[in-house]
Amino acid sequence: MTALLYTLGVVFFVLAILVSIGLHELGHMVPAKKFGAKVTQYFIGFGPTVWSKQVGETEYGIKAVPLGGYVKIVGMLPPGAAELAEPAGFDEHGEPVFRVRQSNTGLFTQLVSDARTAEWELVQPGDEERLFYRLPAWKKIVVMAAGPTVNIAIALALFAPLFASYGNPNDVRILPEVADVSACVVPAAEDQRVCREDDPVAPAYAAGLQEGDELVSFNGVPVTDWEVLQKQIRGNEDGRAEIVVRRDGTERTLVTNTTVTARPTSAEDQTLVEVGFLGVTPATELATGGLGYTLGQMGRMTVDTVEALGQLPVKVWGVAKAIVGLEERDPQGPVSIVGGGRLAGEAVSHEVAPTTDKLAFLVMLVAGFNFFIGMFNFVPLLPLDGGHIAGAAYEGLRRWVARLRRRPDPGHVDVARLLPVAYVVGLALLVMGVVLIVGDLVVPVSLTG
């Protein structure tokens, strides 16, 4: 049964990501067609074609490697001056239509020339007005931004109902309410063990505190925030503790003395210090909220994601070192779609977790992947969507400045000149992807640690 549930979790995650990829590419294709551009292919996956069907001028299909997708829009690269031959004719506006010729000067020049040639081999008679590079800059921005925007919209559509009903697992609120009372004082280093006969009785247990008690005040100071109460307890050392609690609607005063024991300085700093100790664990709840709350949380996620993207090469290098045994795998580090599938399988097959918790984890996982994919594609580097957006934005700005200064139209921005950058970035992304996949197979991140 566990193996079956694990498989179902993996399959669910993979299908969810494939649907997300399909919608991302649909986000590019729909406005491209709406603006009159010619779209010849819409594929999910890479590598050998598994299935395809021609509908009108567009071939729709699925490829063997489900690690992405693409939409082929004809005319992404404009013909460069160095590659233009003599005019092959004129369009309906009287502008010359050129053939593209090969260039053999230098490695990168050859790569750019080959890319242009491959691009223009798809151009058929009558396509001149439908070439992508000839669209107004704002239309190109819409087409390229629509894909990652769809991923972010998917994340919002998943986060919003989850945060409104189940709550946000990443926003846990500590309540001034007792969730558990320690029966004894156990050394911090042995925190998980049961009480022994020679262990001193915990002050909270001796005072008669019970699960469900609402903490009203501590030594006369109202309890409004758990962190403030925690500081009061830690600073009380072995002094008198007068605690007012509300139990079954009635306030009661309990008196005890806190004891001194070694405890970590904070959740981040595990250095042990001698502090006052009561022996209660607070109740917690997941924060909930509507659309405004969700948008606020996604704003924070945006900041965190930008920081994570800046650290991504270093994090992937850490995974590479973990693969060869030089260090432990960071449980909070990046994972590939393989790692995501493993986490989904573990969550679904967990024998103790409630079904609602499992479903919430799956929704968070799929939404998180979509949000990251969307943000990642906005990075202004080719071959990512953000690189094309940046090129179109620069083109629009350059033409606007030229009109403002009453100067001739500078023409289209030649993004093909940035193809060497695209090849370097693409190679880096490929290497990082392979490292993460290998890492998820050799030293996988696990929910159980």
Residues 404 and 419 in one domain: yes
Q: Which of 208, 291, 194 is nearest to 244 (CA)?
A: 208
In a domain, 76, yes or no: no
Residues 274 and 309 in one domain: no
Residues 178 and 157 in one domain: no
Residues 308 and 434 in one domain: yes
- What residues make up the domain containing 355? 151-167+288-449
Task: Single out the residue in 287, 311, 346 at which a domain terminates.
Answer: 287
Residues 309 and 397 in one domain: yes
Longest dimension (CA), the chain: 98
Residues 313 and 212 in one domain: no
In a domain, 322, yes or no: yes
Residues 272 and 345 in one domain: no
Residues 283 and 293 in one domain: no
Residues 245 and 203 in one domain: yes
Residues 219 and 155 in one domain: no
In a domain, 42, yes or no: no
Active-site residue among 25, 119, 177, 395? Answer: 25
CA distance 144 to 423: 19
In a domain, 233, yes or no: yes
- The single-letter code of the amino acid at 310 is G
Residues 223 and 242 in one domain: yes
Q: Check residue 80 and give its pLDDT.
A: 61
Is-catalytic flag, 25? yes
How many distinct structural domains can be found in the chain? Answer: 2
Residues 217 and 294 in one domain: no
Q: Give the pLDDT of the chain (449 residues) as one tens digit per residue.
A: 588 889 999 999 999 999 999 999 999 999 999 999 999 999 999 889 999 999 999 999 999 988 889 999 998 888 764 444 444 555 555 554 545 444 444 555 666 777 777 777 778 888 888 899 999 999 999 999 999 999 999 999 999 999 999 999 999 998 889 999 988 888 776 777 788 888 888 898 988 989 999 999 999 889 888 888 888 888 888 888 899 999 998 999 988 888 888 777 776 677 778 888 888 889 999 999 999 999 999 999 999 999 999 999 999 999 999 999 999 999 888 999 999 999 999 999 888 888 899 999 999 999 999 999 999 999 999 889 999 999 999 999 999 999 999 999 888 888 878 888 888 899 999 999 999 999 999 999 988 76
Task: Single out the residue in 258, 287, 316 at which a domain terminates.
Answer: 287
Q: Check residue 46 and give its pLDDT.
A: 87
In a domain, 71, yes or no: no
In a domain, 420, yes or no: yes
Task: Single out the residue in 222, 253, 287 at which a domain terminates.
Answer: 287
Q: Check residue 169 and give its pLDDT.
A: 93
In a domain, 31, yes or no: no
CATH of the domain at 249: 2.30.42.10
Q: Check residue 127 and give its pLDDT.
A: 81
In a domain, 341, yes or no: yes
Q: Is residue 384 a contact partner of residue 373, using CB atoms and an 8 Å limit? A: no
Using the structure block, give the residue that is written with the tokens 């994919």.
373
